[in-house]
């Protein structure tokens, strides 16, 4: 008999609190890195968009002032921005299309490289929190020291699961990913805790989770909703401190949410492994 959802959430919260210091430090470090990446992309998009407006005859400084006034809730600024958009809509379609296409071409390499870096940061953070989920007595230094050795195996595992579930096939791939994805929940545990290979871990996970698809999917779905609601509440509260402070702290909140969900998944995976369904 596996643990019920309430107990899993309670146990996860207990582990989260016991490992609060390394979790918070990791959330700050990885959150800052993620925030820097997001800020860089935002600045580049703003710069490119500003150059497009400027090329179409709009003053870039004026557009930035409008943006700041809109963020402050200035209704007059919103009306003025709407008028600018009407003027832009009245401009020559070919000129607008050419300018927008040029902007996208200029942004694609930057956004692609930035997204790759942010994905790598997320992968490193997931490996770090996975270690803590399996041992909540680890310190920040010890968990961080073991993290680099997990990056390649976890990346190869995610790649294998992606290929195995045919997630890259439109529509059908998503359905297969939902059906097969939960069956690989134990694989990271086998890799990190038992030092198994990628393919062996995936095969062992698929075999051990037979008959548990509903429990895995349902529990993870509910836990994700709980975490999402908590994250939205924190985001709402942080919004009172201004866009700048909120922009700095929200990536850290996202990392805290990632840490808790990772711990929850580890608790669920271990519970399933300890209570296999016998044929």
Tokens 């529990």 label which residue?
219
Residue with tokens 């870096």: 117
Greater pLDDT, 223 or 238: 223
What Å distances lie between residue 234 and 24, 146, 237, 240, CA to CA? Answer: 15, 31, 5, 10
CA 150/CA 145 separation, integer angstroms: 10
Burial of 277 (0-12, 13-18, 19+ CB in 10 A): exposed
**Assigned token pair, 165:** 């579930």
Answer whether residue 113 shows pLDDT above 60: yes
Please give the Cα distance from 107 to 44 (Å, whole number): 7
Rg for the chain (alpha carbons), in Å? Answer: 23
Domain ranges of the chain: 5-56+91-274
Query: Model confidence over 174-228: pLDDT tens digits?
Result: 788 888 888 998 899 899 988 899 999 999 999 888 888 999 999 999 999 999 9
Residue 257: Cβ within 10 Å count: 18
274 phi/psi in degrees, rounded to 5: -80, -15
Torsion 147-153-159-161 (CA) sign: negative
Nearest to 216 by CA among 192, 195, 196, 187: 187
Residues ≥6 apart with Cβ < 8 Å to 55: 99
What confidence score (pLDDT) does residue 279 get? 43
For residue range 42-80, list pLDDT tens digits in order.
666 666 666 655 655 555 666 667 666 766 667 777 777
Query: Of all residues in the chain, what percent are helix, strand and coil, respectively (each to 5)?
Result: 85, 0, 15
Give the model confidence (pLDDT) of 8-23 as tens digits. 999 999 999 999 999 9
86-106 pLDDT, tens digit per residue, is: 655 555 555 555 555 665 666
Residue 91: CB atoms within 10 Å? 13
pLDDT given at position 239: 80
pTM, entire model = 0.77
pLDDT value at residue 223: 92
Which DSSP category does 182 fall into? G
Structure tokens at 192: 């990190």
Distance separating alpha carbons of residues 54 and 59, to the nearest angstrom: 5
d(CA 53, CA 69): 18
Angle at 265 (CA atoms; ends 259, 268), nearest 5 degrees: 140
pLDDT tens across 122-157, in order? 889 999 999 999 998 999 999 999 999 999 999 999
């Amino acid at each position: 008999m596996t643990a019920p959802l309430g107990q899993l959430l309670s146990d996860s919260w207990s582990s989260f609190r016991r490992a609060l210091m390394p979790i918070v430090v990791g959330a700050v470090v990885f959150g800052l890195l993620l925030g820097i990446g997001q800020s860089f992309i935002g600045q580049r998009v703003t710069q490119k968009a500003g150059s497009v407006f400027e090329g179409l005859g709009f003053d870039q400084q004026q557009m930035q002032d409008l943006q700041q006034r809109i963020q402050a809730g200035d209704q007059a600024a919103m009306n003025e921005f709407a008028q600018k958009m009407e003027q832009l809509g009245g401009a020559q379609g070919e000129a607008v299309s050419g300018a927008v296409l040029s902007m996208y071409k200029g942004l694609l390499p930057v956004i692609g490289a930035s997204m790759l870096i942010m994905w790598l940061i997320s992968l490193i953070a997931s490996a770090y929190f996975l270690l803590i989920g399996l041992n909540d007595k680890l310190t920040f230094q010890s968990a961080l020291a073991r993290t680099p050795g997990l990056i390649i195996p976890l990346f190869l595992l995610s790649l294998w699961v992606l290929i195995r579930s045919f997630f890259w096939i439109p529509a059908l791939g998503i359905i297969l990913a939902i059906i097969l994805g939960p069956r690989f929940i134990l694989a990271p545990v086998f890799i990190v805790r038992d030092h198994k290979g990628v393919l062996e871990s995936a095969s062992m996970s698929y075999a051990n989770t037979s008959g548990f698809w509903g429990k895995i999917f349902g529990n993870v779905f509910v836990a994700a909703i709980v975490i999402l609601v908590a994250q939205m509440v924190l985001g709402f509260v942080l919004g009172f401190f201004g866009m700048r402070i909120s922009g700095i702290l929200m990536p850290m909140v996202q990392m805290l949410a990632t840490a808790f969900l990772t711990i929850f998944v580890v608790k669920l995976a271990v519970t399933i492994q300890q209570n296999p369904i016998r044929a």
